[in-house]
Amino acid sequence: MSSPSLSGASEPPDPNLGPVLIDANELQARVTELGRQITDDYAGRAPLLVGVLKGAFMFMSDLARAVRLPVEFDFMAVASYGSSTKASGVVRIVKDLDLDLSGRHVLLVEDIVDSGLTLSYLRRNLLARGPASLEVCALLVKEGIQEREPDFRYVGFRIPPTFVIGYGLDIAERYRNLPYICAWAG
């Protein structure tokens, strides 16, 4: 199988791009399903979507349009990777929230869950701020590398434990603009 091109069109393949794991149509169909589920689950409430930057921005944008409720947005940026393909194990908040979470129904929107350490840290941090509820919506969960089975309300796809890029996910800030998710071959 040849490597995909950046646009998916008939340009020369990029040798850094491995096989496509989730194509653009699959992504949009699953995001629409998640939006319907969130709309049903949060009926009568206006959830606050908290996106984890930078990776979740594309997913959160599409997800918000699929939720048929009034929603609000806020963003956090955390660092645990740098320019590496492996998490460092050290999490630091680079950009904190602007809004108060007290009494709010918060939906934390994550691009990918690897070991779960970053997400565990974020959950503890956000719960300490007194939300009425806190749930997680993760686009991707890597299988078999968390210490215990993750308990998330909303999961887009479970994938093998390989490094992936596209649809917001990057390597050294590149490839976020791919409309699909593929393995990193570089």
CATH number at residue 162: 3.40.50.2020
Could you read off the pLDDT of 105-136 as tens digits, one per residue? 999 999 999 888 888 889 999 999 999 999 99
Number of domains in the chain: 1
Spatial separation of the C-alpha atoms in residues 162 and 140, rounded to whole Å: 11
161 domain residue, yes or no: yes
Q: Taking the model in full, what pTM does it have?
A: 0.88
Residue 96 · residue 43 · CB < 8 Å: no
- Reported residue count of the chain is 186
State the catalytic residue, choosing from 111, 114, 151, 170.
114
150 domain residue, yes or no: yes
How confident is the prediction for the chain on average, in pLDDT?
A: 89
3 domain residue, yes or no: no
132 domain residue, yes or no: yes
184 domain residue, yes or no: no
183 domain residue, yes or no: no
**Known active-site residue 114:** yes
Spatial separation of the C-alpha atoms in residues 67 and 149, rounded to whole Å: 27
Per-residue pLDDT for 164 more than 50? yes
Spatial separation of the C-alpha atoms in residues 169 and 181, rounded to whole Å: 8
pLDDT for the residue 19: 95
17 domain residue, yes or no: no
Its domain, for residue 160, covers 23-81+88-174
120 domain residue, yes or no: yes
Could you read off the pLDDT of 42-51 as tens digits, one per residue? 999 999 999 9
Higher pLDDT, 90 or 121: 121
Residue 70 · residue 42 · CB < 8 Å: no
Expressed in percent and rounded to 5, the helix, strand and coil fractions of the chain are 20, 30, 45
